[in-house]
Amino acid sequence: MELLEAIRTRRSIRRYADRPVSEEHLLAIIEAAMQAPSAGNQQPWHFLILTDRDKLDAFPSFHPFSAMVRQVQAAILVCGDPGTGPWPDFWPQDCSAAVQNALLAARDLGLGTVWVGIYPVEERMAGCRRLLTIPDHIHPFALIPVGWPEGDFGPADRTRPERIHWERW
């Protein structure tokens, strides 16, 4: 698949088929995420691969918008470590770039994903820390459920010419 096709056809998938996702696919997605740009190349991210059914099913108990995780057999939790370089305040942008790379890599592989925001909601971050024994200095950032979509990705045009400005507002 060409990159622009992956970008144009990526969707937030919330309904998944009951099919496993291979370790090879999960690692390919994380490898793509790790190719993202980061401030000063500090790469402040950590990735937790989740396949344990009890852990996946626990997310909706502290995150009200994560019910779809009960349908997948794998998810990736992206976390940020602000203490990895000289620009500690840029870790959210860095992790956002990593998440976007992961979503596009999954789309390229034919897998569905959805960006489930964790940071900056303290209850969600605390729930992740409790469930997964994440140290206090690490910030749970986003959960990416990964699975085979139940339906098609289908095209959608999100281009809004009225949001494009040249030289001035």
Among 74-78, 117-121, 150-154, the least confident range: 150-154
- Domain limits of the chain? 22-149
Report whether pLDDT(151) > 90: no
Helices H, strands E: what count in the chain?
A: 5, 5
Any idea which residue has 């959960």 for tokens? 143
Sign of the Cα torsion 84, 85, 90, 94 reads: negative
Per-residue model confidence (pLDDT) at position 97: 98
Query: pTM for this one?
Result: 0.96
Tell me the torsion sign for CA atoms 116, 118, 124, 129.
positive
- 112-126: pLDDT as tens digits: 999 999 999 999 999
Output the CATH code of domain 22-149: 3.40.109.10
Q: Which amino acid is at 101?
A: N
For 7-59, the pLDDT digits (tens) are 999 999 999 999 999 999 999 999 999 999 999 999 999 999 999 999 999 99
Whether 23 contacts 74, CB under 8 Å: no
Residue 169 CB partners (closer than 8 Å, separation 6+): none
> Where does the pLDDT of residue 75 fall: very low under 50, low under 70, confident under 90, or very high at 90 and above?
very high
pLDDT over threshold 80, residue 154: no
> pLDDT tens-digit profile of 128-138?
999 999 999 99
